[in-house]
Structure 1
Amino acid sequence: MKRRVQLTAVIEREGDGYVSLCPELDVASQGDTIEEARSNLVEALELFFEAADESEIDARLSGEVYVTRIEVAVG
């Protein structure tokens, strides 16, 4: 049975589509809709875990990711 892990997905609009990013592993994908971008990111992550060896996973896996909003002065 495969082990399951929880990761972060950041999805943002880019042009006519959406870009999805997993910051813990620096893996990205895209799609025409939010759901497609999310699904494509899941697929990309699953492929990464299938292909990468443990040392690459350990080197790329960031243990802590904080997603927050900040306010900055403009102009």
Structure 2
Amino acid sequence: MNKLKYQMVIQWSEEDNCFLVGFPDFPGQRWRTHGDTYKLAVANGIEASESLVIAYETTGELLPEPTVYNVA
């Protein structure tokens, strides 16, 4: 699983009083999980991304292409 390179966006939400985690490469996954701390948001995000991949594989859906940025 760690070979998959999907974006994970972590953003503070004043309204929710926590960090929201989203996966832009997955349609309909604007905010998938959250965490009260940044560290917890990262851990929950990793778990959520692994679950997304498993769900796609289980249903036979093709995984979206990850967005990859090449930095000089």
Q: Smaller-chain TM-score range?
A: 0.5 to 0.7
Q: Percent identity?
A: 24
Aligned to 1:8: 7
Could you say which structure has the larger radius of gyration? 1
Residues paired across the two proteins, number:
63
Unaligned runs of 5+ in 1: 67-75
Unmatched 5+ stretches in structure 2: none
Higher RCO (CA < 8 A, seq sep 6+):
2
Q: SS state of the match for residue 49, structure 1?
A: helix
TM-score, normalising length: structure 2:
0.65
Runs (4+) of structure 1 exceeding 6 A deviation are none
CA contact (8 A) 2:5 2:66 kept: no
Give the alignment's TM-score, normalised by structure 1.
0.63
